[in-house]
Homo-oligomer: A and B are copies of this chain.
Amino acid sequence: MSLDESVKYISIIGATGYVGAELVRGFAGHPYFRFRHLTSQTFAGKPYSDIYPEYRGVVDNVCEDIPYAEAAKDSDLVITALPHGVSAKIVPELLAEGCRVIDHSGDFRYKDLATYENSYKLTHPNPELLETAVYGLPEFYREDLKTAKLVANPGCYPTCSLIALAPFLKNHLIEEDSIIIDATSGVSGAGRKADLAYAFCELDESFKPYGAVGHRHTTEISEQCSFLAGKASGDIKVTFTPHLAPFKRGMLASVYAKPSQAFENVSSEKINTIYNDFYKGETFVRVLPGKTLPDVKAVACSNYIDVNGVYDPDTNMIKLFTAQDNLGKGAALQAIQAANAMFGFPEEAGLKNIVRGI
């Protein structure tokens, strides 16, 4: 489908939200991908840099409001940044055109249909796709990504929770009913919208929990935790509480769990070693040295996720911490990492040197 065989052509559906904007940023400097269509209903006909002036001279492509199938026709990859429910209807139409798809909604992240439908209060119009969709966390599913037609980009909270928990779940080193995830997101996670709740004067100098019962990411985390532990969807259930903090980008997960009987001689040092062993060779999972703990500042605007953990002997508790950018490894840049894996490019292509600095 490519005009130039050496590069792949991508289209972004819903390109003007914050996830769309981060996709645009990431792909703008990518050595192997080129933009075909940036679609937007609201801003059709306007240069992208009219909506995001930071892209003036960088990405001046004009936003289009074209039928989804048309966007798919001449693209190797279509990335959808649409609300859940909407994606579920549209994605089959895109796949029918023969392109591959990465979807940012929750619509294809679950293997268990009932869990999805209960969590999202929706009837899935295309449940058969749940089986073939690949959960786009390259560190766990990179083999499947190579041939995937449809990739469900993971949620932001699930990504940082699962990266923290994976080595311990895979090796059965924690009590599976003891997992508590206390996580905090920057404001960009709420998306780009006119909403008093996200106004500067309402959020500056604020900090609060939200969705303390039944946040949708809870079941997504639980299902993937179950899979990591070699169990069926729903076998493991986690306690999850998100918070909102006054910064734009970044997400921290503080994860608590009891060591299992299998975890011998548990210590902070051992936790660090387990992480180093498990994530050896992973470019984007950075295991911090010693007892250094992650800070969202260090991962802002990047695809890196920093991880470390400690053991509290007084209460026999393991504490695991991960920091990522909610729009980066938590969304758009992880999608680019997955796109690299899908098309056989090095996973770090276009991503390795993107950091915010100070």
Contacts and interface: CB of A to CB of B under 8 A. Distances in A.
Contacts of A209: 252, 254, 293-294, 319, 321
A187 B200 contact: yes
Q: Which has the most chain B C-beta neighbours within 10 Å: A204, A218, A310, A358?
A: A358
A353 interface: yes
A94 to B, nearest CB: 25
Given A213-B312, A299-B54, A304-B56, A247 B246 contact: yes
Given A56-B298, A201-B187, A237 B306 contact: no
A98 interface: no
A339 to B, nearest CB: 17
Interface string A190-216: 001111101111111111111011100
B22 A239 contact: no
Contacts of A184: 184, 207, 243, 245
A62 interface: no
The count of identical subunits is 4
Interface residues of A, number: 91
A231 interface: no
A212 to B, nearest CB: 5
A66 interface: no
Given A55-B355, A248-B200, A358-B327, A314 B218 contact: yes
A358 B21 contact: yes
A300 interface: yes
B239 A256 contact: yes
Given A57-B286, A296-B207, A201 B180 contact: no
Contacts of A317: 180, 239
A112 interface: no
Interface string A3-23: 000000000000000100110
A268 B199 CA distance: 29
Contacts of A56: 286, 288, 298, 304, 306
Given A56-B304, A311-B213, A312-B213, A250 B205 contact: yes
30 contacts: A21-B357, A25-B357, A53-B292, A56-B298, A56-B306, A182-B254, A182-B256, A184-B207, A192-B199, A194-B199, A198-B201, A199-B200, A200-B200, A200-B204, A202-B297, A204-B246, A205-B296, A207-B252, A207-B323, A208-B296, A209-B252, A210-B293, A212-B312, A213-B319, A239-B312, A243-B254, A245-B245, A246-B246, A327-B357, A356-B356
B18 A201 contact: yes
A206 to B, nearest CB: 4
Given A201-B187, A208-B293, A241-B319, A356 B18 contact: no
A352 interface: yes
Given A18-B358, A28-B355, 17 more contacts: A22-B357, A29-B354, A54-B300, A54-B355, A184-B184, A199-B200, A200-B248, A204-B247, A205-B248, A206-B297, A207-B247, A208-B297, A209-B294, A212-B310, A239-B319, A241-B254, A248-B358
Nearest to A25: B357
A247 B312 contact: no
